[in-house]
Chains A and B, each alone.
Chain A
Amino acid sequence: MKFGKMKPQRRNRLMVVGLLVVSAGVAVTLALSALNENLNLYYSPAQIVNGEAPTDTVIRAGGMVVNNSIKRSTTDLGVQFVVSDMHEAEVTIAYVGILPDLFREGQGVIARGQLNGQGVFIAEEVLAKHDETYMPPEIAQTLARSREAADAAAKGATL
């Protein structure tokens, strides 16, 4: 049966289905490739210290801001601070810009940026949560794991 000879209704339906399939296909392809380029993996301080995190790729890092670790530039908005998993690993984060209101020592933060060759995390964005009792799940997980590790170490010591 030729396309031109089909009943108009059937032809319409076929066109609609075709249109659907093609546009859905295009959209899915677009979406997946865009998704792949814009995923930011999270690495805990321990992973970064152990060299598991890639350098010069956009990733996220986070932890608790270590007390007395904030150092400010006296000429511009540059700032450096150290985040920790409260157990063993610490990572230095450098940032130029205005820190969020809830950024303070002892508070959980997440930064998005790139790790340079010297193991310093160059942040493009620093996030602290807008609710002081809320802990970003990444950090909660990091802390829980480091606590488990600490418990395991303590047990090992007593045995």
Chain B
Amino acid sequence: MIVELGHFSLILALGLSLCLAIVPAYGVQQGQVRLMNLSGSLAAGLFVFVLLSFFCLGYAFWHDDFSVTYVARNSNSALPLEYKLSAIWGAHEGSFLLWTLVMAGWTLAVSLFSQSLTPDMRARVLSIMGALTVGFLAFILFTSNPFDRTLPVFPGDGADLNPLLQDFGLIVHPPMLYMGYVGFAVPFAFAIATLSTGRLDSAWARWSRPWTNVAWGFLTIGITLGSWWAYYELGWGGWWFWDAVENASFMPWLIGTALIHSLAATEKRGVFKSWTVLLAIFAFSFSLLGAFLVRSGVLTSVHAFAVDPERGMFILGFLIVVIGGSLTLYAVKASGIKSEAGFDWTSRETMILANNLLLVIAAGAVLLGTLYPLLYEAMTDGKKISVGPPYFNTVFVPLMLVLFAFMACSPGSRWKKTPVAFFTSQIVPLLASLVVMTALVLALASRFEITVVLVNTLALWILVSLGRDVWAKVAHKARKVPALFQQSLSYYGMLLGHLGIAVAIIGVCTTVYYSEEKDLRMAAGDMVSLSGYDFRFNTVRKVQGPNYIADQGDIDIFRNDKLVTTLYPEKRFYNASGNVMTEADIDPSLFRDLYVALGEPIGDDAWAVRVHYKPFVRWIWFGGMLIGFGGFCTVLDRRYRSVSRARQAIRAEGAVV
């Protein structure tokens, strides 16, 4: 009964989203404020019914209702409760329900926090979000209904959740990621709404900037969590694989990063208006493309859901309508838009332009590598290829290094025109960073790597110029410490974001060059040395888990004959599904991880064992979290909250002058 209720409320939600798509838009056309203002209550109703449906599916999981096909496939009575509940989004149907819930949530949030918009603008934005939700709900109801039952005959117990997903990562990674993916629908809706009015002033940049930054912050955290999860869960210590689905989340992130910078320029200076609109359209289009790649099975990937051409066709159709429609609108409307303000090539605008250029090219290169197997197959009549990680590294890394050099010069650059002396004054910090980094690598590292020195010099240079910029802001103040806390929150957001990038650069580069790894055969008492640590394989014993049996290794790690830690990696056998899974054990610390994973038993009581030494690997995710929090800072900025409608209109006109 509860399950039918869930299904029914999804249908109601579809009806409400249709109303939300049509009624306020009709109101705008007819000039009826009453109809426009219905958007608020429609958005609220939509959210309530999608949420209800989501709870109903959760209830089915909680009560082990295996007559529901989706529950029977992805749960089991022995599954711990937290995984039963997160199994709601553990496979295609439910995860798309989560996607739609997040969409409805963002729609509600826009209707609640955009009271300062003109009624006509608010109605337009919400009606576009409603139209997108129609697509998502129709997709669920027509191709991927999680409430389908297998009556009258249903299994006595479920097939169990994929063991890889029975982890804390599943609880946090998809919701964060979807908040980001779907959050880009908000700047998209703002962009389309503004295009449709034909008045592209700077006000829309002010409106969409906090939304974009928050969505981008969520996406950053989602990707970071995914990388961390893959690192400890897949059992081979990698943290980024250039896998098609990773790329699917990374491309919107790259475009989104370009967008938040370009929005800043549009808001502050009224430049790049039509470009920013285009980026907003592309950021969301890439999110949809990601959904298509993951859910259609066209690409081989560790994440790919089960193949279903019908679903693929639906999303492809939706993708064509959304991208085609918005680009057509853009072509018709954007030609008349002019950026009024000029700028010198030494200006901050130029820096942002370089940032945008590099990020968009990088996204294009990732797109090319991701889709090339499909193109190739189409061109050569079915020949299958794959594009290896070296392609991505060769193209992506040089672009980023150039970007980082611009990044180091950007804090303290001025709008319109920066004195050339500012750029020449960067040389001293650059050389100082080089000297310090060379000394650090010579003193601390096991061997001298010139690449590590150069790349980490860039990171240090970024840090130093951030520091210089902060100092420039407080140096002329009498009370310096309070002045430190009186900057705008957007500024702290920038600091955090760039700081996070520098931290992540150090993490990535150091761990890539100084990690050590050995795969070897070990029997009881065998020792192996790695980067000054001695690993002793003691024994393997059987351990009983809630829904699995495991072989648990016992490995002592010594440094200079002193015990550092004992690690217990496991090889788990999941009873319900019969799946085997590696559970690595890690001794984490700020400067190095020790990582041990069990392979398989290879006779004579010996095991295949994988041991890693991974220096600075935590810095990657620590940096990623900082970047994400930087995105959240901007939204707390008072400028974006307390602006009255009248003042906004004045500002909008003022920006044009």
Q: Which residue of the partner chain B has the closest CB to A97?
A: B519
Quick one: CB contact mask for A26-42 with B, threshold 8 Å, 1 for yes? Answer: 01001100110111111
**Those of B374-391 within 8 Å (CB) of chain A:** 376, 382-388, 390-391
Q: Are B395 and A31 in touch, CB under 8 angstroms? A: yes
7 contacts between A and B (CB under 8 A): A12-B345, A30-B394, A30-B398, A35-B391, A97-B519, A101-B581, A102-B579
Q: Tell me the minimal C-beta distance from A8 to chain B in angstroms.
A: 6
B100 at the interface (CB under 8 A from A): no
User: What residues of A have a CB within 8 angstroms of the CB of B372 in the complex?
Assistant: 35, 39
Q: What residues on B are CB-neighbors of A137 within 8 Å?
A: 297, 300, 307, 384
- Say yes or no: A38 contacts B387, CB within 8 Å: yes
Mark the stretch among B18-26, B598-606, B632-640 that contacts chain A.
B598-606
**Cβ-closest chain B residue relative to A131:** B162
Nearest-neighbour CB distance to chain B for A47, whole angstroms, equals 10
The docked-state distance in angstroms from the alpha carbon of A59 to that of B597 is 28
The 8 A CB mask of A47-63 against B (1 = contact, 0 = none) is 00000000000101000
- State the CA gap A75–B522 with chains docked (Å): 10
CB-based contact B384/A132 at 8 Å: no
Taking a contact as CB atoms under 8 Å apart, the answer to whether B344 and A8 are in contact is yes
- If A12-B343, A23-B361 touch, whether A101 touches B582 (CB-CB below 8 Å) is yes
B38 to chain A, nearest CB (A): 44
Scan A8-20; emit 1 where CB is below 8 A from any B CB, else 0: 1100100110011
Produce 1/0 per residue, A128-146, CB < 8 A to B.
0111111011100100000
Beyond A38-B387, A42-B385, A76-B521, is A99–B600 a contact (Cβ under 8 Å)?
A: yes
Which one of B45-53, B362-370, B539-547 contacts A? Answer: B362-370
Q: Are B342 and A12 in contact (CB under 8 A)?
A: yes
Known: A34-B394, A35-B372, A76-B521. A27 touches B361 (CB 8 A): yes
Q: Give B residues with C-beta under 8 Å from A.
A: 162, 164, 235-236, 297, 300, 302, 304, 306-307, 342-345, 353, 357-358, 361, 364-365, 368-369, 372, 376, 382-388, 390-391, 394-395, 398-399, 519-521, 577, 579-582, 597, 599-600, 602-604, 608, 610
The 4 closest A-B pairs by CB, nearest first: A98-B599, A42-B384, A38-B391, A34-B394
Flag whether A77 is at the interface (Cβ < 8 A). yes
B602 touches A34 (CB 8 A): no
A24 on the B face (CB < 8 A)? yes
Residues of chain A lying within 8 A (CB to CB) of residue B597: 98
Decide if A147 is an interface residue (CB 8 Å cutoff). no
- Report how far A142 CA is from B358 CA in the complex, Å: 40
Of chain A, the residue at the smallest CB distance from B388 is A38
From A23, A31, A72, give the contact of B357 (CB < 8 A).
A23
A74 CB within 8 Å of chain B: yes
| A-B interface contact total, Cβ < 8 Å | 121
Whole-angstrom CA separation of A71 from B641 in the bound complex: 68
Give bound CA distance, A75 to B521, whole Å: 8
A41–B383 contact, CB under 8 A? yes
Question: Which B residues are in CB contact (< 8 Å) with A138?
Answer: 300, 384
Q: Is A37 touching B579 in the complex (CB atoms < 8 A)?
A: no
Q: Which residue of B lies closest to A137 (CB)?
A: B300
Given contacts A8-B342, A98-B599, 10 further A-B pairs with CB under 8 A are A24-B361, A30-B395, A31-B365, A35-B372, A38-B390, A39-B372, A41-B383, A74-B604, A131-B306, A134-B307
Assembly CA distance A10 to B344 (angstroms): 11
**Residues of chain A contacted by B306 (CB below 8 angstroms):** 131, 133-134
**B361 / chain A contacts, CB cutoff of 8 Å:** 23-24, 27
With A27-B399, A77-B521, A134-B304 known to touch, is A141 a contact of B342 (CB < 8 Å)? no
**A residues within 8 A CB of B399?**
27
Q: How far is the CA of A31 from the CA of B392 in the complex (A)?
A: 9
> Closest residue of chain A to B597, judged by CB?
A98
**CB atoms of A132 and B599 under 8 A apart:** no
Would you call B368 and A31 a contact (CB within 8 A)?
yes
- Closest chain B residue to A138, Cβ basis: B384
Identify which of B162, B343, B390 contacts A130 (C-beta below 8 A): B162
CB distance from A60 to the nearest CB of B (A): 6
* Residues of chain B contacted by A141 (CB below 8 angstroms): 382, 384
- CB within 8 A of B388: which of A15, A20, A40, A98? A40
Please report the C-alpha to C-alpha distance between residue A98 and residue B521 in the assembled complex, in whole angstroms: 10
Most buried by B among A15, A20, A39, A75: A39
Name the residue in B307, B384, B385, B398 with the highest tally of chain A Cβ atoms < 10 Å from its Cβ.
B384
List residues of chain A with CB within 8 A of the CB of B386.
39-40, 42, 60, 112
Determine how close the nearest CB of chain B comes to the CB of A130; give it in whole angstroms.
5
- B residues less than 8 Å from A41 (CB atoms): 383-385
Chain A residues, CB < 8 A from B577: 132
